[in-house]
C-alpha cells in the first residue's frame, strides 16, 4: 500500500493513488494538481547520511579532505527543511553550485534500541523518495556537511508516497534516477550503499532510540549537477515513487 498526506479544502487528508489523480480517505477523487502535497510523514528525528555511496565519494574526491571512515557520516536535519511533492525550493542569489540528491528515505515503524542487524528491517514501516538539495558553495571541508548546506528551509523534498515495507521486497535492489527538465542526470542503485539499511539501524540504535516516524535519509549516488532557477527536477526510485520539484529565485520570497 502507498499513502500520501495532502491539503485540500482547508484540511489535511490521507490520500491514495487513483487513475485520475488521488483519492482522499473520505472517497473524493481529485486531480494531482488540485491538492497541496505535504511530506508523507511528520518525522520526529530526521537523520541523514553523507558520502554513503562509493561512487559519489569518488565523484567528490578532489574536494574531500577525509579518507575512508569506519562509521557512517551522520547529521541531523530540522522539520522546516521538508516540503512535499510539486513544491518549490529556493536557490539563493549568488549561488554558484546547487545540486539535487536523490535518496531513499527509510521511515521507522517500531521503536528500535540496540537492534541487531538481523532484526533491523523489522523496525521499518516503509520507504519514500527524497531530494535533498545541497549548496556546495557553503561546504567546509573540515566538517561535512555544515548547517547552512543541509538545513535550509524547503531544501529537502519528500514524497509523494510512503510505501509499506511489505511492498518493497528488497530495498537494496532499487534504481534511483534524477531528471532535470526531462534530461536524465543521475542514476544509481541502492545496492551500492557503503552502509546498508540494517547496518545504519544497528549503528544508530546502538546509541539512540529510534522512534516510530523517525526518518533516515540514506545518501545519494554519483551524478550530481548544478540546477538553476526555473528548472524542474524529478527524482524517482523504482517501486517507491516519482517526486517533482521546481527551483525558484529569491524574489518569490521577497528577498
Task: Give every CB contact of residue 70 below 8 A, 6+ residues apart in sequence.
Answer: none
Q: What are phi and psi of 203, to 5 degrees?
A: -65, -50
Task: Give every CB contact of residue 249 below 8 A, 6+ residues apart in sequence.
Answer: 90, 91, 93, 229
Give yes or no: residues 18 and 56 share one domain: no
Which pLDDT belongs to residue 13?
98
Query: Is 54's pLDDT higher than 80?
Result: no
Which residues are registered as beta bridge partners of 254?
A: none
Query: Is 150's pLDDT higher than 90?
Result: no
Give yes or no: residues 190 and 77 share one domain: yes
Query: Is 126's pLDDT higher than 90?
Result: yes
Domain that holds residue 18: 1-38
pTM for this prediction? 0.93
Give yes or no: residues 132 and 18 share one domain: no
Give yes or no: residues 157 and 49 share one domain: yes
Query: Is 64's pLDDT higher than 60?
Result: no
Give yes or no: residues 61 and 77 share one domain: yes
Give yes or no: residues 180 and 232 share one domain: yes
Give yes or no: residues 80 and 92 share one domain: yes
What's the pLDDT tens digit per position in 246-255? 999 999 999 8
CATH number for 31: 2.30.30.370
| Exposure b/e, 201-235, CB count within 10 A at least 16 = b | bbbbbeeeebeeebbbbbbbbbbbeebebebebbb
Give yes or no: residues 91 and 189 share one domain: yes
- Measured in whole angstroms, how far is the alpha carbon of residue 217 from the centre of its chain? 6
The C-alpha cell at 45 is 528525528
Based on the structure, what is the number of domains in the chain? 2
Query: Is 157's pLDDT higher than 90?
Result: yes
Per-residue pLDDT band at 82 (split at 50, 70, 90)? very high
What's the pLDDT tens digit per position in 186-228? 999 999 999 999 999 999 999 999 999 999 999 999 999 999 9
- Using CA atoms, how far apart are residues 129 and 90, in angstroms rounded to an integer? 19
Give yes or no: residues 73 and 181 share one domain: yes
Give yes or no: residues 101 and 205 share one domain: yes
Task: Give every CB contact of residue 130 below 8 A, 6+ residues apart in sequence.
Answer: 101, 102, 103, 104, 105, 156, 157, 158, 217, 235, 243
Amino acid at each position: 500500500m502507498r499513502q500520501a498526506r495532502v491539503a485540500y479544502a482547508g484540511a489535511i487528508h490521507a490520500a491514495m493513488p487513483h487513475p485520475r489523480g488521488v483519492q482522499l480517505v473520505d472517497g473524493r477523487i481529485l486531480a494531482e494538481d488540485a491538492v497541496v502535497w505535504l511530506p508523507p510523514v511528520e518525522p520526529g528525528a530526521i537523520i541523514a547520511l553523507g558520502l554513503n555511496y562509493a561512487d559519489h565519494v569518488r565523484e567528490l574526491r578532489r574536494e574531500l579532505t577525509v579518507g575512508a571512515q569506519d562509521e557512517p557520516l551522520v547529521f541531523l536535519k530540522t522539520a522546516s527543511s521538508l516540503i512535499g511533492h510539486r513544491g518549490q525550493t529556493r536557490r539563493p542569489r549568488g549561488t554558484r553550485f546547487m545540486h539535487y540528491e536523490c535518496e531513499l528515505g527509510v521511515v521507522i515503524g517500531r521503536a528500535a534500541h540496540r537492534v541487531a542487524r538481523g532484526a533491523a528491517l523489522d523496525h521499518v514501516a516503509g520507504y519514500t523518495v527524497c531530494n535533498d538539495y545541497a549548496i556546495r558553495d557553503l561546504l567546509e571541508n573540515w566538517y561535512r556537511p555544515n548547517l547552512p548546506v543541509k538545513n535550509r528551509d524547503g531544501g529537502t523534498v519528500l514524497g509523494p508516497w510512503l510505501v509499506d515495507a511489505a511492498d518493497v521486497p528488497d530495498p537494496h535492489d532499487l534504481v534511483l534516477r534524477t531528471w532535470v527538465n526531462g534530461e536524465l542526470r543521475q542514476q544509481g542503485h541502492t545496492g551500492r550503499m557503503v552502509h546498508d539499511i540494517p547496518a545504519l539501524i544497528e549503528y544508530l540504535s546502538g546509541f539512540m532510540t529510534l522512534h516510530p516516524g523517525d526518518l533516515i535519509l540514506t545518501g545519494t549516488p554519483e551524478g550530481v549537477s548544478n540546477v538553476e532557477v526555473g528548472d524542474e527536477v524529478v527524482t524517482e526510485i523504482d517501486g517507491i515513487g516519482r517526486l517533482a520539484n521546481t527551483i525558484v529565485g529569491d524574489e518569490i520570497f521577497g528577498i
